[in-house]
Amino acid sequence: MSFELLLVVLTLLSGLVWAWDRWLREREGVDRDQDPWYIDLPRTLFPIILIVLLLRSFAAEPFRIPSGSMLPTLQAGDFILVNKSAYGVRLPIVRTRLFGNGEPERGDVAVFRYPVDPSQDYIKRIIGLPGDEIRYQDRVFYVNGERLEQSDVGAYERGDVDGPALVRREQVGDREYQIVHHPDSPSGNFTYTVPEGQFFAVGDNRDRSADSRVWGPVSDDYLAGRAFIIWMSWDSQEGGIAWDRIGKRIE
């Protein structure tokens, strides 16, 4: 059972107990301060669980980064917050849009349900919008014929990648961010047109990311929100908290 589903179930069960208790108090006018624990506990926890569910579903949700597919922007061990209303407010679990018509912009770092297995959440950078022609050639993306300009930053010096790696700065419109290339890896050139209602998402660790180049585009229905800040980070290499990453905005 997912944590989201667990929260919904707990909210419903504790809410039923809370409502039943309120109804019984008003109907019988009895003092129920000495209720057994299985009545008192859910009655007490219901407002807390409800607030957590509402905040997590409609405001901001925490996620943990499990892999290095978004290096150097996000590292394994980063804990991030995701703006759940950035792409429209959606119901929990079914994620049907309630209201709002926000859509990703090119360059957004978005969380979404994995198209191959919707029970999993993935995080990638959106570079292609519905109708865009995406071309990948010699490790450079072209969107509708326009090159996403890159400039060299230097060697990637952290030890969490295999083999030599280079850091480059890439630009999408007025958005800039860093990516990682592995010069010994093949480019895998291709051209692709993004279908309507879909988005093309790629990892910043370009040669070590399974993304839309492998499993196809992301449906609008699968979008969960836009990542915006790192609120905690655990450096597995050093075995401690990475204080310099806490509070860092996700570009």
55 CB contacts (<8 Å, ≥6 apart)?
Answer: none
84 is catalytic: no
Backbone angles phi, psi at 205, to 5 degrees: -85, 80
151 is catalytic: no
- Token look-up 């292609």 returns 128
**How far is residue 217's CA from residue 215's CA, in Å, rounded to a whole number?**
7
The pair of structure tokens assigned to 119 is 């029970």
Amino acid at 149: E
| Identity at 177, one-letter amino acid code | Y
Selecting among 14, 69, 209, 212, the annotated active-site residue is: 69
Q: Hey, what are 226's tokens?
A: 């836009």
Tell me the C-alpha distance between 117 and 64, whole Å. 18
Candidate list 57, 124, 209, 233, residue with the active-site label: 124
| Cis? peptide before 72, omega within 30° of 0 | yes
Element (H, E) at 3: helix 3-28
Query: Which token pair is 47?
Result: 């407002």
Residues marked active site are found at 69, 124
